């Protein structure tokens, strides 16, 4: 059984990926500092898979702790590195917190890997690296433009750090997955997205409004140059996104990669507006959402969606679930978590 380290494995995308890894026959070891997740997530993973992954509470930005932790684990086949801070707005007010954590943790992992025999790394990148692209949909060759936030910049710099390190290190291989907007929850509703405090992201805000925790959803702007005036994103079911990690990992483990560093878009290839998301949520759940249109949110781009042809062909990764499936699963998770019948 191949042993995979999953950093940030108790987080939103990390936990769903752990489930898919276990279901695909991998042994999962989670490293997380629990700064934005809870230890109970391990119970959720166990309920779904029957297996509670081994867990280490480690600050990966600390080089010594990182090396000591990796030293205790034998026969590692690869690392999937999710652990990072991800609140775009907070990164603007606390840039050093983001640079320090997101970059140091990556550097420590790469440095550890240079001295060890396991050579496969999957990195969580983001479509934020494209900014507001001039041409849509975006391909992996679309230009990278200056990031709007320190958070986005950490993703761009991280990709460069990985590229440079791979180029100078024999045998080291990596794949960066550029995620579009992950939403939804595992079909069992045992794990899902659990933002701390007021959600920043659209779908948790919708489900918390439907659950009565938030009074009203604000739709940020209806004066964009889009068919209904609201902004467009490519929303991918988190389970589909999680499965893309298995394809990427298998590609590295089986030496199917074309070059030692590869990048793939992971989205659905379809854009939906904020109003389409709201309408679809109302349709699949039968719940009327209380919402109002307000001004645009600073820093938001108008529209983006992925060209997925390269990842579909090379990763054999294709999304299976619809926007409605994803929104219903998000609602089922919210209901279960809040004990709503």
Q: Which residues bind ligand UFG (CB under 6 A)?
A: 86, 88, 126-128, 179, 181, 200-202, 205, 217-220, 231, 233, 274, 297, 300
Main-chain phi, psi angles of 27, to 5 degrees? -95, 130
Q: Which of 12, 151, 205, 235 is catalytic?
A: 151
CB of 323 to ligand UFG, least distance (A): 13
Tokens of 316: 């054999």
Nearer of residues 188 and 200 to ligand UFG, judged by Cβ? 200
CB of 142 to ligand UFG, least distance (A): 14
User: How do strand 3-7 and strand 76-81 relate by DSSP bridges?
Assistant: parallel
CB of 230 to ligand UFG, least distance (A): 7
Q: How far is CA 247 from CA 31, 47, 175, 253, in A?
A: 21, 24, 11, 10
Nearer of residues 41 and 88 to ligand UFG, judged by Cβ? 88
Question: Helix-strand-coil percent breakdown of the chain, rounded to 5?
Answer: 40, 20, 40
Dist. CA 20–CA 256, nearest whole Å:
20
Nearer of residues 34 and 294 to ligand UFG, judged by Cβ? 294
Dist. CA 271–CA 330, nearest whole Å:
19
Nearer of residues 111 and 300 to ligand UFG, judged by Cβ? 300
CB of 112 to ligand UFG, least distance (A): 26
Nearer of residues 187 and 276 to ligand UFG, judged by Cβ? 276
Name the nearest CA neighbour of 261 among 179, 173, 140: 173
User: How do strand 232-233 and strand 272-273 relate by DSSP bridges?
Assistant: antiparallel
CB of 274 to ligand UFG, least distance (A): 5
Nearer of residues 90 and 312 to ligand UFG, judged by Cβ? 90
Per-residue b or e along 184-210, where b marks 16 or more CB atoms closer than 10 Å to that residue's CB: bbbebbbbbbbeeeebebbbbbbbbbb
CB of 34 to ligand UFG, least distance (A): 20
Q: Within 13 Å and on the Cβ side, how many CA atoms surround 161?
A: 20
Q: Would you give the DSSP letter of residue 303?
A: B
- Whether 213 contacts 338, CB under 8 Å: yes
Let me know if 99 is a catalytic residue.
Answer: no
Q: Which residue is nearest to ligand UFG (CB)?
A: 231
Any idea which residues carry the catalytic annotation?
151
């Amino acid at each position: 059984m191949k042993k995979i380290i999953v950093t940030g494995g108790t987080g939103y995308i990390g936990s769903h990926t752990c489930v898919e890894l276990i279901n695909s026959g991998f042994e999962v070891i989670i490293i997380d500092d629990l700064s934005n997740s809870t230890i109970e997530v391990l119970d959720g993973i166990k309920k779904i898979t029957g297996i509670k992954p081994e867990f280490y509470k480690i600050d990966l930005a600390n080089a010594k702790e990182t090396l000591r932790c990796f030293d205790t684990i034998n026969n590692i086949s690869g690392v999937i590195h999710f652990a990072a801070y991800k609140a775009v707005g907070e990164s603007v007010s606390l840039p050093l917190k983001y640079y320090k954590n997101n970059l140091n943790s990556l550097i420590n992992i790469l440095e550890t890997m240079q001295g060890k025999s396991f050579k496969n790394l999957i990195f969580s990148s983001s479509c934020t690296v494209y900014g507001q692209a001039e041409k849509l949909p975006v391909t992996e060759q679309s230009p990278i433009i200056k990031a709007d936030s320190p958070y986005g910049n950490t993703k761009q710099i991280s990709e460069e750090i990985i590229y440079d390190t791979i180029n100078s290190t024999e045998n080291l291989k990596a794949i960066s997955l550029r995620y579009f907007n992950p939403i939804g929850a595992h079909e069992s509703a045992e794990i899902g997205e659990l933002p701390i405090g007021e959600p920043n992201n659209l779908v948790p805000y919708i489900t918390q409004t439907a659950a009565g925790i938030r009074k009203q959803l604000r739709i940020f702007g209806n004066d964009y140059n889009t068919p209904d005036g609201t902004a467009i994103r490519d929303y991918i079911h988190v389970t589909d996104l999680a499965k893309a990690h298995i394809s990427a990992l298998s590609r590295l483990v089986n030496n199917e990669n074309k070059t030692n560093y590869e990048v793939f878009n992971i989205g659905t290839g379809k854009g939906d507006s904020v109003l389409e998301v709201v309408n679809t949520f109302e349709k699949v759940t039968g719940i009327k959402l209380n919402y109002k249109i307000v001004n645009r949110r600073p820093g938001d781009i108008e529209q983006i969606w992925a060209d997925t042809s390269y990842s579909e062909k090379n990763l054999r990764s294709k999304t299976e679930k619809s926007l409605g499936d994803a929104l219903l699963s998000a609602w089922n998770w919210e209901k279960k978590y809040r004990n709503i019948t």
